[in-house]
């Protein structure tokens, strides 16, 4: 596996993030909901980054980027919908096509688990995966997530509604 760093999103990540999203757009759209076309512009990504950083400042999200040893953005990982009352959050990650299958998603998810425990003092995490996305499901299960309820029509992939499942991780059991 290559050398990489996972860190909190910064305002100056907009241009590299746009390049990453554009380069991997078709790859992502085979697995998850497509983003609106206006996202794929510098203004669209700057607005996206500003929104995520605002939610981070409000304690509702922790957005991260994954950069390689050359500083190139190669993935993303987020704690989102952080709820301090229920001590829960949802996890999500996007790994570039060239990095898929190299353990980066597992490392990113473990980073989110550590953030959830150490920085946010959360009790549980949830995730969603479409049925048939075996790689993402393997990552979730490898990190201790347990499959839960079926979620019909969880996403639109290539214009077709697809089903999925919720996954949960009880952080209190991890110690």
Nearest residue to 153 (alpha-carbon basis) of 164, 142, 167, 166: 164
CA distance 175 to 172: 6
pLDDT of residue 33: 67
DSSP state of 121: -
pLDDT of residue 128: 93
Tokens linked to 38: 């206006």
Residue 28 CA to its chain's centroid (Å): 12
pLDDT of residue 175: 60
Count of residues making up the chain: 175
Tokens linked to 19: 């390049």
Tokens linked to 117: 């425990």
Under 8 Å between Cβ of 65 and 6: yes
* Torsion over CA: 111, 117, 120, 122 (sign): positive
pLDDT of residue 53: 97
Under 8 Å between Cβ of 17 and 42: no
pLDDT of residue 80: 97
pLDDT by residue for the chain (175 residues), tens only, comes to: 468 999 999 999 999 999 999 998 887 777 676 676 788 899 999 999 999 999 999 999 999 999 999 989 999 999 999 999 999 999 999 888 888 888 999 999 999 999 999 999 999 999 999 888 888 899 999 999 999 999 998 887 777 888 999 999 999 987 6
If one counts every other C-beta atom within 10 angstroms of the C-beta of residue 75, the result is 23
pLDDT of residue 97: 86
CA distance 130 to 136: 9
pLDDT of residue 77: 96
CA distance 27 to 165: 21
pLDDT of residue 5: 95
């Amino acid at each position: 596996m290559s050398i990489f760093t996972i860190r909190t999103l910064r305002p100056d990540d907009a241009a590299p993030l746009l390049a990453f999203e554009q380069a991997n757009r078709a790859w992502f759209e085979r697995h998850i909901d497509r983003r609106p076309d206006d996202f794929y512009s510098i203004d669209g990504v700057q607005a996206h980054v500003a929104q995520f950083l605002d939610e981070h400042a409000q304690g509702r999200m922790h957005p991260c980027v994954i950069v390689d040893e050359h500083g190139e953005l190669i993935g993303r990982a987020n704690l989102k919908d952080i709820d301090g009352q229920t001590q829960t959050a949802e996890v999500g990650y996007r790994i570039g096509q060239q990095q898929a299958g190299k353990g980066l998603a597992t490392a990113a998810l473990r980073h989110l688990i550590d953030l959830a425990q150490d920085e946010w003092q959360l009790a549980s995490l949830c995730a969603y995966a479409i049925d048939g996305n075996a790689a993402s499901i393997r990552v979730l299960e490898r990190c201790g997530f347990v499959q839960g309820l079926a979620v019909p029509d969880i996403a639109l992939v290539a214009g077709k509604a697809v089903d999925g499942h919720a996954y949960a991780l009880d952080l209190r059991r991890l110690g």
